[in-house]
Amino acid sequence: MFADRPGDWLRDRIESSGWERVGVYGLDYVMAVRDYQQLAGCSAELTSWDVEFDLARAVKSPAEIESVRDSVRINAEGFWTFLEAYDVGKTEAEILAPCEKLFVEEGCGRLTMDMVLVGENGSATPEFRIASSKRRIAPGDLCLPSLVVAGPGGHWAEVSRAVVAGGKPSTHALSMEEAYGEYYEIAKKDLRHGATAHDVHRAIAKGFAERGAKLGHVTGHSIGMTMIEYPKIGEGLETVLEEGMVFSIHPHAISPDGSECLYMQDTWLVTREGGEPLADVPLRIFDASESRP
């Protein structure tokens, strides 16, 4: 409904319907004064409904899951396109541009967010940045494209892998690659219906912590028609996972001195038996010699 004055429209709707309590998503955020004035004297009780709404939309319907799978397919194709374009001497932007072309052709429209993690000597600094049209990839650079897209169905997905060509990954990157391999197998078992977000976080983080990594922000988050949704996968979050939830899992493994990181993303489906990884891209650091399967 596109109302000239939403507060007036909503108050009339509430009072004509005889509603006593109305849950509002975003009630704790900024509301136009004109709308607040109308709703402040409303006969019904207005209550925040953020968490309840987010938990409801976190469980995807079969049709939504098909949309997610399509977005993952497009995202994974984007990585293979990136790998095919990857070459020492090219700029970051030249390598990333074919991915964006693919995403437009596949119907993503403006629903893309493509950035890179880059660094020298087989490592990457912890901050994502816009791909540079001036900086050229040197031998041994680590470049990781964060390819985040929503396909025609509108559901976002995240799939990313690191690439090091003409050199070797750093000691930290290799250690974190091992931890990623461990987490991948753990998530297949522990990212299941009935588990808590805290327990899943602890299980996934274990291998990284044992290798001395610090984990930046969250281990993962629900993902859907909004890129970052509730609930998160993180410390102290006792939300119980349900079958049909979809999560982006991306441990941000930062070295003890904070100078480098590894951050590879995957989109997972929660099932009764465990987590189902929706992309078929091997979870490892590539060297740009690989061929698309």
By the 10 Å C-beta count (0-12 exposed, 13-18 middle, 19+ buried), 130 is classed as exposed
**Residue pLDDT, tens place only, 210-268:** 999 998 778 999 999 999 999 999 999 999 999 999 999 999 999 999 999 999 999 99
Q: Are 137 and 89 in contact (CB under 8 A)?
A: yes
User: What distance lies between CA 50 and its chain's CA centroid?
Assistant: 20
Identify the structural domains of the chain with CATH numbers, from first to last: 6-48 (no CATH), 60-277 (3.90.230.10)
Mean pLDDT of 115-136: 96
Supply 104's token pair. 């437009």
Supply 217's token pair. 């922000």
Asked if pLDDT for residue 1 goes beyond 90, the answer is no
First-residue to last-residue Cα distance in the chain: 47
What angle in degrees, to the nearest 10, is found between the helix axes of 171-190 and 197-210? 150
**Residue pLDDT, tens place only, 78-90:** 999 999 999 999 9
Q: Are 230 and 54 in contact (CB under 8 A)?
A: yes
What is the per-residue pLDDT for 216? Answer: 79
**Residue 292 vs residue 92, higher pLDDT:** 92
